[in-house]
């Protein structure tokens, strides 16, 4: 494996969708009788749906008995409600400024671009349509392809496998602390973007080597970014 991999989270990193997720999760939780602040929901975005719900409401009880099934069932219903609400936005999802240009620049420079996202199915299709950059994308890994989501390193490792690259020949770009944790645990240098709404200090503390406002600034400063420190060979 000798290629260079440019691994990207999608929501909040390449597409302007984080606050839509916040609204949809907040409403799904409200419908289920849970009052959770939008601030708390925002800080949890980036986790897989089941993990996000457990992060906000507490894990389902362990052991035998109906309580487990009841809690698990409620969390599944909350996740399903979020998905229904979010699907109403599919035809209006928008790429962040510079996102497609960044992917195409990296592909032209010889990087294998891989999307590393917890989205799947119709949602992933909607995100790809919003990006409109399939010509620059080598592959993608979704929630359907891994057992554990971010912050577990498995999604990033799957992205490396798809790119045919080693961890030391890759950069992972994301917008949440969960992205930074996943990348650093996989041994991949991480770049943070502020476009998802998480503070610079939090991204740096979670392992980001550099932080940029969004895809446009990263594209404009690519020649002095962590990508530039990895020469082709």
Q: What's the pLDDT at 3?
A: 87
Helix and strand tally (H, E) in the chain?
A: 10, 6
pTM over 0.85: yes
The answer to whether residues 45 and 18 touch, using CB atoms and an 8 Å cutoff, is yes
Q: What's the pLDDT at 65?
A: 47
What superfamily would CATH give domain 4-17+93-229? HAD superfamily/HAD-like (3.40.50.1000)
Neighbours of 6 (CB within 10 A): 28
d(CA 150, CA 180): 9
CA-based R_g, the chain, Å: 17
Neighbours of 210 (CB within 10 A): 19
Q: What's the pLDDT at 233?
A: 67
Q: Measured in whole angstroms, how far is the alpha carbon of residue 16 from the centre of its chain?
A: 12
d(CA 156, CA 111): 16
Q: Tokens in use for 30?
A: 């409200």
147 DSSP 8-state letter = S
9 DSSP 8-state letter = -
> What DSSP line would sit under 50-67, residue for residue?
HHHHHHHH-PPPPSSSHH
Secondary-structure class of domain 18-88 per CATH: mainly alpha
Domain boundaries, the chain: 4-17+93-229, 18-88
SS3 137: strand
d(CA 63, CA 86): 33
Mean pLDDT by 10 residues, the chain (233 residues): 90 98 98 97 95 91 51 90 98 98 98 95 96 98 93 97 96 98 98 98 98 98 94 70
Helices (H), 47-187: 49-57, 66-87, 99-108, 121-131, 154-163, 177-185
Q: In the sheet where 4-8 sits, what is the strand order?
A: 137-141, 111-116, 4-8, 170-174, 190-193, 208-212
Per-residue pLDDT tens for 41-69?
Answer: 999 999 999 999 999 999 866 545 444 55
Q: Tokens in use for 85?
A: 């609400």
Q: What's the pLDDT at 16?
A: 98
Q: What's the pLDDT at 70?
A: 61
Q: What's the pLDDT at 69?
A: 52
């Amino acid at each position: 494996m000798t290629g260079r991999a440019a691994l990207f989270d999608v929501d909040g990193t390449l597409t302007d969708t984080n606050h839509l997720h916040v609204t949809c999760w907040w409403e799904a939780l409200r419908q289920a009788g849970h009052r959770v602040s939008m601030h708390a929901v925002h800080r949890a975005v980036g986790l897989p749906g089941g993990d996000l719900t457990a992060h906000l409401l507490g894990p389902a009880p362990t052991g035998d008995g109906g309580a487990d099934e009841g809690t698990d069932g409620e969390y599944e219903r909350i996740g399903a409600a979020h998905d229904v609400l979010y699907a109403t936005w599919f035809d209006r999802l928008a790429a962040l400024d510079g996102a497609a240009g960044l992917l195409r620049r990296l592909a032209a420079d010889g990087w294998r671009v891989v999307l590393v996202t917890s989205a799947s199915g119709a949602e992933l299709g909607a995100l790809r349509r919003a990006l409109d950059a399939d010509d620059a994308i080598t592959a993608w890994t979704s929630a359907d392809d891994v057992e554990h989501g971010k912050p577990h390193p498995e999604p990033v490792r799957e992205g490396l496998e798809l790119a045919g690259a080693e961890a030391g020949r890759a950069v992972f770009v994301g917008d949440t602390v969960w992205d930074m944790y996943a990348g650093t645990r996989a041994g991949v240098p991480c770049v943070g973007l502020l476009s998802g709404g998480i503070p610079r200090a939090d991204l740096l503390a979670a392992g980001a080597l550099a932080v940029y406002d969004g895809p446009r600034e990263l594209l404009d400063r690519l020649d002095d970014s962590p990508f530039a420190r990895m020469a082709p060979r």
